Amino acid sequence: MYGWTGRCLRVNLTKNDFQLEEISQELMNKFLGGRGLGVKILYDEIDPTVDSLSPDNKLIFVSGPLVGTGAVTGASCNVITKSALSGTIACAKLRGHFGAELKYSGLDMIIVEGKAEFPVILSIMDDKIVIQPALEYWGRTTSETENMFKNSLSDKWAACDTYLLSIGSAGEKLVPLANVINDGFLSVGAAGIGAVMGSKNLKAIAVKGNHSVTVADGNRFVQVVTTLINKLNSASLTSQSMSSWGSAFLVGLCNQKGILPFKNFQRSSFEESKQIGTEALSSAFALRSRGCFACPIACIKKTDVNNPIFKGKGMAPTYLAIGALGLNCGITDLTDIGMANMICAEMGLDPIASGGTIATAMEFSEKGLLSKDSIKLDLRFGHGKDLIHALTLIATKKGHAIRIGQGAKAISEEYGHPELFMGVKNIPLAPFDPRAIQGMGLHFATSNYGPHHLYAYTFIDEVLNVHEKLEPWTIEGKPELVKRFQDITAVMDSLGLCNWSLMGLKFNSFVPMINSCLGTSYKAEDLLQTGERIWNLERLFNMRAGFNRSHDILPERFYNEHIADGPAKGQISKANEMLDDYYGFRGWDNKGQPSAKILKALELEEIYGEDKN
């Protein structure tokens, strides 16, 4: 067995007990590992209608087979559970070094079940597995938790090789917007997962190990990885733009194309883009790169070097943070956005979900639908202090922020204007205006994980034109493009590769690396079929949880209101028109239910049988 370690740790917090299990080879061949394996286990083991915050929900941490082998960008570990925010399946992508260290501790997967009686930390240090009480950690920020845990180790050298994943106060207090944080990195797409971890009274997981991960054909693997590093180096996006500014370089580009939302998607152009572009970012933060495990791109930027506010902590805001916490709330001050981003990382909030929630509340108060007295909070577009104040209150569940902390959908319904909620499946939209980028819009409507762009980054072809030259505003070829990207992403997540590498490499160029690493002879089509299998299984989970065609729909604003200004003026979303075509490409019926034929082709027929019963 190459790449995989083949072992899984099952922890039952109710019984305060754990056991090691073998993972069957058949399962690994069929679902690859990572996200695929996690989804399969969750599908098999929990009832999709279960209450997300009940002890019956499970939390699965799983690293892909390529993680820790040195495969380029092979760092991503997935957290899979039923989301507390959306009620759909949720899959976070952890960056940094946690996933690789999990492999070095001899495990592919940790399944957490039940609920501990009091706060605990799961510590897996050199094969010693301990569920230790963590009362003194409860209420601490994520960086404090990390430092405290490392200082508590008797061997200070062991602390150097220990990596932690933790929740902040938001997760502890079961705020549905909560995220999980590892190694100071906000994880991607984790809205609703922090609360599940909090509901299990699991404050953190610490890993350290000295096992090896083996590679099938070492010499060939080293050659292929060297070639891929060189390719990433010769592509301008991965070698210059991403390396210099991280994803924040997209801010200027999206603004030029009219994709950048402003004030809760009311507008999509923004005149003072100089204030927030790459030059402003460099001068605000004095950027320094930080890389995830085995990543030659190193797109994450630290903020610490010159700016005294951020000394020693925090990451510079990415495109997501600038879009969701900044412009969508009307805020253009980079120091405020950086501060809000840091609060998210320290207190464990998801920037998209909490930014979207606050933006919705801001639109309510701008339109006079929500008086200051009713929520006891000032929430005005463009006021950084309001944002920071609201985030802190949401994360600590204090005062009237309890209501806002329930999410954008909940407030928009509570105050009688559900049409002002800009999101799909209860999760606020990532900061891309779906009217100006049709493929992404269709993905937002249909995604199993809510409207998050990193589960199908069609932006790469629609705007950056890396592999194909497509126009963002047209719909030709988009349903097919969305399906392909969704499948590719499912495969890459399952293997443990990061999506950003697609900015410099074609999916096909990963195939020799995958095969030499795992000792397999996959072709690109085989892998894409596996991706499709995973996507369909997730879809089946969501359908059993009560989601169907009526949830594959964007907010009314995107169908009814044309973009009022800017370069994409007059555009409107055509996601509804494309939906039937998309279902057709997927082999689903017009209700969005996967057909028996496609499930058979994907070797999921036994599940279809279950579904019928």
Partner 1 sequence: MARIKIDHTKCTGCRHCEIACSLNHVAGVANPRRARIRVFREGTTYFPTIAGPFVDAACTSKNDLIIGDQTYNMCLICRASCPEKPFFIEAETGIPLKCDFCGIPPSPSCVTWCNSGALELVED
CB of 318 to partner 1, least distance (A): 15
230 sits in which H/E element: helix 218-234
Residue ranges of alpha helices (H) inside 496-523 are 511-518
3-state DSSP of 34-49: HHHHHHHHHHHHCCCC
Q: Which DSSP symbol is given to 137? A: G
Out of 8, 191, 213, 437, the residue judged to bind partner 1 by CB under 8 A: 213
Out of 289, 335, 392, 593, the residue judged to bind partner 1 by CB under 8 A: 289
CB of 36 to partner 1, least distance (A): 22
User: Quick one: 91 or 213, whose CB is closer to partner 1?
Assistant: 213
Out of 108, 304, 462, 487, the residue judged to bind partner 1 by CB under 8 A: 304
Out of 64, 296, 330, 356, the residue judged to bind partner 1 by CB under 8 A: 296
String of contacts with partner 1 for each residue 149-178, x by CB under 8 A: ------x-xx-xx-----------------
User: Quick one: 100 or 116, whose CB is closer to partner 1?
Assistant: 100
Rounded distance between C-alpha atoms, residue 109 and residue 228, angstroms? 28
CB of 349 to partner 1, least distance (A): 23
- Does 206 participate in binding partner 1 (rule CB under 8 A)? no
- Does 290 participate in binding partner 1 (rule CB under 8 A)? yes
Other residues' Cβ atoms within 10 Å of the Cβ of residue 41:
21
- Does 215 participate in binding partner 1 (rule CB under 8 A)? yes
CB of 34 to partner 1, least distance (A): 17
Rounded distance between C-alpha atoms, residue 334 and residue 10, angstroms? 43
202-208/120-125 β-pairing: parallel
Burial of 159 (C-beta count, 10 Å sphere; 0-12/13-18/19+): middle
CB of 524 to partner 1, least distance (A): 24
Rounded distance between C-alpha atoms, residue 187 and residue 179, angstroms? 7
Q: Which residue has the tokens 């799909």?
A: 424
**Residue numbers 2-31 binding partner 1 by CB under 8 A:** 2
- Does 474 participate in binding partner 1 (rule CB under 8 A)? no
User: Quick one: 244 or 593, whose CB is closer to partner 1?
Assistant: 244
Rounded distance between C-alpha atoms, residue 221 and residue 386, angstroms? 51
- Give me the amino acid identity at 68: G
- Does 342 participate in binding partner 1 (rule CB under 8 A)? no
User: Quick one: 282 or 289, whose CB is closer to partner 1?
Assistant: 289
Rounded distance between C-alpha atoms, residue 490 and residue 455, angstroms? 7
CB of 306 to partner 1, least distance (A): 12
Beta bridge partners of 188: 93
User: Quick one: 100 or 362, whose CB is closer to partner 1?
Assistant: 100
String of contacts with partner 1 for each residue 69-88, x by CB under 8 A: xx------------------
- Does 212 participate in binding partner 1 (rule CB under 8 A)? yes
The 3-state DSSP class for residue 390 equals helix
Q: Which DSSP symbol is given to 262? A: B
User: Among 39-47, 221-229, 325-333, 501-509, which window interacts with partner 1 (CB under 8 A)?
Assistant: 221-229
Out of 218, 399, 416, 570, the residue judged to bind partner 1 by CB under 8 A: 218
User: Quick one: 302 or 483, whose CB is closer to partner 1?
Assistant: 302
Beta bridge partners of 82: 89
- Does 509 participate in binding partner 1 (rule CB under 8 A)? no
CA distances from 584 to 451, 481, 547, 594 (A): 21, 13, 18, 10
Out of 232, 276, 387, 445, the residue judged to bind partner 1 by CB under 8 A: 232
Rounded distance between C-alpha atoms, residue 80 and residue 190, angstroms? 9
**Residue numbers 53-72 binding partner 1 by CB under 8 A:** 68-70
- Does 221 participate in binding partner 1 (rule CB under 8 A)? yes
User: Quick one: 219 or 521, whose CB is closer to partner 1?
Assistant: 219
62 sits in which H/E element: strand 59-63
Burial of 104 (C-beta count, 10 Å sphere; 0-12/13-18/19+): buried
Vertex 593 angle, CA 592 and 598, to 5° = 115
225 sits in which H/E element: helix 218-234
| Interacting residues with partner 1 (CB under 8 A) | 2, 68-70, 97, 100, 104, 155, 157-158, 160-161, 210-219, 221-222, 225-226, 229, 232-233, 288-298, 302, 304, 312
